Amino acid sequence: MNINIKFPDNSVHQFPRNTTPLQIAENISSGLARDVITASVNGKLVDVNYPIQEDARIELFKFDSLPGKEIYWHSTAHLMAQAVKDLFPEVQVTIGPAIENGFYYDFDKDVPFTDEDLEKIETRMKELARENLEYKRREVSREEAIEIFRKMKENYKIEILEEIPPGEKISIYSQGNFTDLCRGPHIIHTGKIKAIKLLKISGAYWRGDARNKMLQRIYGISFPTSKELNQYLVDLEEAKKRDHRKIGKDLDLYSISDDIGAGLVLWHPNGAMIRNVVERYWIDKHLEADYKIVYTPHIGKSELWDTSGHLGFYRESMYSPMLVDEQEYYVKPMNCPFHIAIYQSQKRSYKELPLKYAEMGTVYRYEHSGALHGLMRVRGFTVDDAHIICTPEQLYDEVEKTLVFSLDMLRDFGFRDFKIYLATMPEKAVGERQNWDQATESLREALHKNKIAYEMDEGGGAFYGPKIDIKVKDSLNRLWQCSTIQFDFNLPQRFNMEYIAPDNQPHRPFMVHRALLGSVERFFGTLIEYHSGNFPLWLCPIQVQILPISENYEDYARSVYAEIRQHGIRAEIDLKSEKIGYKIREAEVRKIPYMFIVGQKEKEEGTVSVRRHTAGDLGSFLLQDIVKRLKEEILTKK
C-alpha cells in the first residue's frame, strides 16, 4: 500500500505506508538524511522516525530553520539534564525548553551549581553525545506516567502530570538511562549534537512565580559544527562591545555614581548634548502635531495620589512621603495627575478637544535593586509624556495618529526593527472588565487599520488601562519598552473630568496616556547600542574635530572653527603637541564623525582635508562645500 506525500513545492511522490521522514530524506539525498532534524507532517512537528500512515503534506527541517533549531536545542536540553542526573543523582529535573538562542533547563538542587560543575556537565554531555544515544519516544497513560516519575522521585514532573486531564495520552522520551516527560519531537540521537557550550547559571522561580521555590537554571547553546559555535561566541563578544554601559563610559556620555545612589543618572556634557538635541527635536515635532507643552512639579499631596489610585495600585513603586507643613507629599512616579489638574483648571468645551498636554516629565520610581541596569532600568527618569484628552468619538483617530507619530519619530532616530505588543488587563487593575475589553478592542483596531503586526501581551496592561507597547532590542537581544500608548478610562472618572458637549451637558472625556521615547534615559541607552556609539551626525555632541598638523596652523584652525560654528556645526580643535596620526587616532576612538585636517596646503588654498570616522580620507574640500554637505547630512538626519 502506498501513500501520497506532498512536498512544499507541491510535487507529490508515492511512498510505502509507514515510511518515515528520515527515509524520505534519504530518498532525496544522503546529505539531507544526515542533516534533517525534524519534519512536519500535515503541519505537526514529528520525530524523523515517525511512521507516516496516510497521505500527507511533509516538510523537512534542517538546523538552519526555526523548527530545526528549536528541536535541536530542546534535545540538547534533555542531554544536559541527562548529564546533570548522571553527575548529581539527587537533583530533581523540572522543565527545559529551547529559547531564541539556545536552551535552558531548571533543576531543583539544594547547593547551587558552580562554574566547575558547569564544566563537568559540559564534558559529560560531550561524552554522552558521542555515544549516539537514540531519543526513544513512548506513549503511556497519564497514570502510568505518574507511576514512572514517582519511582524516579521526580516530583515536579508529577506536579505537571497532575494538571493534565486523566486519560490523556502522555509521551515520554528516553535516551540512554535518562527519561523525561516531553511532548517532543526530538532529534534522532545525541550524536547529532557536535558543539556544546554551557553559558551561565542563574536562579529562576519554579513556574516563573516569585512565591515558588527558586531553582537552578543552566543556559547553554549547541550547534552541528564547532565552527558555528565559535562564530556564535565571537558574535556574542562583538555584541558586548556595543553595550551602552561600556560606550557610555568610553565616550564620556553619562555615569551612575555609588555616592549619589543606584539608578540615578548623571548626564555628562556629551550625553547631555545629545539629549538636548533629542529634546529640541521632540518639542518641535510635538508642537507641529498640536500638542501643548507643559511643565509640572515633582511632588504632590498624598490626597492627589489617593484620588488617582496610585497609592492603592502603585504604592510599591513609590518612595516614602515627605512632610511639608504637616501634609504628606509624594515624589511623582507619573505625570498624569498634574496634566489632569491643568485640564481641570477651567471649564472645558468639546470645541477644545482633543487637548494634548506634553511634557518631558521627570519621575521617580522604586525599582528592585536587582532590576537596575545601566540606563535601561533606573530609579529616576524623564518620561516624554503626554495625555490626550478627547471625546469618545475622537478616540480611534487619536490612537491611530499617536501610533503613526510614534513610528515616525523612532524612524527619524534610525530605528527600523521594533516589536509591537497589545497588552491586556493585569491581575491588579481598576475598572470593569467590560470597559477593559472595549478599550482593548479600540487599540486592536488601530493596529489592524494600519496593518501593523503585533503580538499579544496577556495581562501586561497598566493598572488603569490596556496599552500598545513598542519595544526595541539591545545589543544582547533583550527587549526594552520604548513607546507606549495606554488607554485610560480610570483617571477621568476618578478626577471627575468633564467637558461641555453640544447638548450643553457635562460629559466624561476619554484619555490616552502615551510616551514615545519611553524614558529619555532608556531611549538614550537603546540609541547608543543601536548605533554602537556611531551616532548620526545630527545627534553627535562633537560633529567635527579640527586637527592642525602642527602648532603653526593654530590660527587657520581657529578661523575654520569660527566659520563652521557660525553654521551651527559643533566642533573642537585639537591643539595637542602631537603628530597628526595620534590626533586622528584619538578622534577615531572618540567616534567623532568628521575630522578636518589643516596644514600648510589647506591654509594656502582655504580648504580642509576631510576624514570620515571609520571610512577614512575623503580628500580635500573647500570649506564652504564641506559645510554645505554637513548641513545637508544634519538636516536629513542620515
Partner RNA sequence: GCCGACAUGGCUCAACGGUAGAGCACUCGACUUGUAAUCGAGCGGUUGUGGGUUCGAUUCCUACUGUCGGCACCA
Instruction: Supply the DSSP symbol for 308.
Output: H
Please, which of residues 544-603 interact with RNA by CB under 7 A? 549-552, 577-582, 584-585, 588-589, 595, 597, 599-602
Residue 315, interface with RNA (CB under 7 A)? no
Residue 511, interface with RNA (CB under 7 A)? no
The C-alpha cell at 551 is 602648532
The C-alpha cell at 547 is 586637527
Report the residue number, 194 or 473, with the smaller CB distance to RNA.
473
Kindly state the smallest distance separating residue 363's Cβ from RNA, in Å: 9
Draw the binding track, 140-179, toward RNA (x: CB under 7 A; -: no contact).
----------------------------------------
Q: Are 385 and 511 in contact (CB under 8 A)?
A: no
Which residue of 374, 465, 466, 541 would you call a contact of RNA, by CB under 7 A? Answer: 374
Kindly state the smallest distance separating residue 240's Cβ from RNA, in Å: 8
Looking from the CA of 226 toward its CB, the CA atoms found within 13 Å total 1
Segment lying near RNA (by CB under 7 A), choices 112-120, 174-182, 441-449, 530-538: 112-120
Please, which of residues 263-292 interact with RNA by CB under 7 A? 263
What one-character-per-residue DSSP string does 571-588 give?
A: EEE---SS-HHHHHHHHH
Per-residue CA distances from 278 to 274, 335, 472, 527 (Å) = 6, 20, 18, 11
Kindly state the smallest distance separating residue 489's Cβ from RNA, in Å: 16
What lies within 8 Å, CB to CB, of 110 at 6+ separation is none
Classify the phi-psi angles of 292: left when phi > 0, otherwise alpha if psi is within -120 to 50, otherwise beta: beta
Segment lying near RNA (by CB under 7 A), choices 152-160, 300-308, 373-381, 532-540: 373-381
Residue 98, interface with RNA (CB under 7 A)? no
Segment lying near RNA (by CB under 7 A), choices 3-11, 33-41, 204-212, 303-311: 204-212
User: What value, to the nearest 5°, has the Cα angle with vertex 349 and ends 343 and 350?
Assistant: 105
Please, which of residues 425-454 interact with RNA by CB under 7 A? 426
The C-alpha cell at 627 is 559645510
Report the residue number, 7 or 88, with the smaller CB distance to RNA.
88
Draw the binding track, 380-399, toward RNA (x: CB under 7 A; -: no contact).
-x-x----------------
Segment lying near RNA (by CB under 7 A), choices 39-47, 154-162, 225-233, 374-382: 374-382
Q: Which helix (H) or strand (E) holds 395?
A: helix 395-412
Size of the site for RNA (CB under 7 A): 78
Kindly state the smallest distance separating residue 471's Cβ from RNA, in Å: 8
CA 254 to CA 274: how far, in whole Å? 11
The C-alpha cell at 502 is 453640544
Kindly state the smallest distance separating residue 100's Cβ from RNA, in Å: 11
CA 13 to CA 616: how far, in whole Å? 58
Segment lying near RNA (by CB under 7 A), choices 31-39, 64-72, 138-146, 211-219: 211-219
Residue 202, interface with RNA (CB under 7 A)? yes
Which residue of 130, 227, 249, 411 would you call a contact of RNA, by CB under 7 A? Answer: 249
CA 335 to CA 338: how far, in whole Å? 6
Which residue of 185, 309, 518, 541 would you call a contact of RNA, by CB under 7 A? Answer: 518
Draw the binding track, 461-500, toward RNA (x: CB under 7 A; -: no contact).
-x------x------x-x-xxx-x----------------
Q: Are 3 and 42 in contact (CB under 8 A)?
A: no
Dihedral of CA 122/123/129/134: which sign? negative
Report the residue number, 348 or 365, with the smaller CB distance to RNA.
365
Instruction: Supply the DSSP symbol for 606.
Output: T
What lies within 8 Å, CB to CB, of 612 at 6+ separation is 593, 594, 595, 618
The helix/strand count (H/E) of the chain reads as 20, 33
What lies within 8 Å, CB to CB, of 391 at 6+ separation is 350, 353, 354, 499, 501, 507, 509, 510
* Residues belonging to the chain: 638
Per-residue CA distances from 270 to 99, 252, 267, 413 (Å) = 38, 6, 8, 17
Segment lying near RNA (by CB under 7 A), choices 140-148, 151-159, 227-235, 613-621: 613-621
Instruction: Supply the DSSP symbol for 19.
Output: B
Q: Which SS3 state, helix, strand or coil, does residue 303 take?
A: helix
Kindly state the smallest distance separating residue 383's Cβ from RNA, in Å: 6
Report the residue number, 496 or 550, with the smaller CB distance to RNA.
550
Q: Which SS3 state, helix, strand or coil, does residue 205 take?
A: strand
Kindly state the smallest distance separating residue 281's Cβ from RNA, in Å: 19
Report the residue number, 347 or 579, with the smaller CB distance to RNA.
579
Residue 227, interface with RNA (CB under 7 A)? no
Please, which of residues 399-428 interact with RNA by CB under 7 A? 426
Report the residue number, 10 or 614, with the smaller CB distance to RNA.
614
Report the residue number, 309 or 374, with the smaller CB distance to RNA.
374
Which residue of 310, 339, 356, 365 would you call a contact of RNA, by CB under 7 A? Answer: 365
